[in-house]
Amino acid sequence: MATHLFLDFDGTISIGDIGDKLFQTFGSFEPVHSQLIAGEFSVAEYYRRSVALLPEGCTPATLEAFANEQSLDPGFVPLVTWSKRSGIDVTIVSDGFDVYIEPLLRASGQRENVDVACNQLTWNGIAFAPSFPGASESCACFCASCKRNAVITRLGDNDIAIYVGDGSSDSCAVEFADVVFAKGTLAAECTRKGTPHHPYRTLSEVMIILQEKVGKGALRVRRQAVLARKRAFEAE
């Protein structure tokens, strides 16, 4: 039996949504973002359009410099360090891009301690192209990188999944997690759907609650999540 900690990136590990900020800074955030919110197209299509709108002169170096100006929740490094010490695997599940996630993880000193499932932005010397290695046809979510699949494919029988997130791209995954930490629109959605969750504001709070649960031996599987995982596997 292993324990896995899944962390959303934008707005959960990072302060604010860096993906949104990237396209606000370099691309043409509108009208494509409003069209996405209105359901006119999927996140993958939103990304294809937004990436096509990145201006000439925007290179990997530009985006790395932009990434290095962003900040992370100060509780991130202690949470990963404690998880590693406690034998808990950490996976970052993001519907954002490697171009800002990777530099920030390297700068935090934690790159070697986490696994990452996210979208990719590749540079061909002239322009960027997005790719979506975590895309799912079997999940009903609108995401480019399906977090549900990132979670369930990493879990063995009797493993425990802890999930921490803040937004709508996390909602397909939390149904399959045993312990859920939610803030922002994810918390509202969990409340609406009756998904048990711990409200939180910072990753330090998450760590305190987890340390208490581990100390008491109170980390355990959630029946509804186990059943949901079983059904998802059978449907694949």
**Contact footprint for Mg ion (CB under 5 A):** 8, 10-11, 166-167
Measured distance CA(88)–CA(213) in Å, rounded:
13
Q: Of 10 and 189, which has the nearer Cβ to Mg ion?
A: 10
Burial class (CB in 10 A: 0-12, 13-18, 19+), 233: exposed
Measured distance CA(67)–CA(97) in Å, rounded:
11
Q: Of 148 and 222, which has the nearer Cβ to Zn ion?
A: 148
Measured distance CA(228)–CA(195) in Å, rounded:
12
In the list Mg ion, Zn ion, none, the entry touching 19 (Cβ below 5 to 8 angstroms by class) is none
Q: How far is the CB of 112 from Mg ion (least distance, A)?
A: 23
Of residues 201, 199, 204, the one with CA closest to residue 75: 204
In the list Zn ion, Mg ion, none, the entry touching 146 (Cβ below 5 to 8 angstroms by class) is Zn ion
Q: How far apart are the first and last CA of the chain?
A: 23
Q: How far is the CB of 1 from Zn ion (least distance, A)?
A: 25
Quick check: 139 binds Zn ion (CB under 5 A)? yes
Quick check: 93 binds Zn ion (CB under 5 A)? no
Q: How far is the CB of 88 from Zn ion (least distance, A)?
A: 23
Measured distance CA(208)–CA(201) in Å, rounded:
12
Q: How far is the CB of 169 from Zn ion (least distance, A)?
A: 8
Q: Of 75 and 226, which has the nearer Cβ to Mg ion?
A: 75
Measured distance CA(189)–CA(105) in Å, rounded:
28
Q: Of 58 and 206, which has the nearer Cβ to Mg ion?
A: 206
Q: Of 16 and 133, which has the nearer Cβ to Mg ion?
A: 16
Quick check: 229 binds Zn ion (CB under 5 A)? no
Q: State both tokens at 11.
A: 């707005």
In the list Mg ion, Zn ion, none, the entry touching 167 (Cβ below 5 to 8 angstroms by class) is Mg ion
Q: How far is the CB of 6 from Mg ion (least distance, A)?
A: 12
The angle that helices 203-216 and 76-85 make with each other, rounded to 10 degrees, is: 20
Site residues for Zn ion, 153-172, by CB under 5 A, read 172
Q: By the 8 A CB rule, do 113 and 50 touch?
A: no
Interacting residue ranges for Zn ion, rule: CB under 5 A: 139, 141, 146, 148, 172
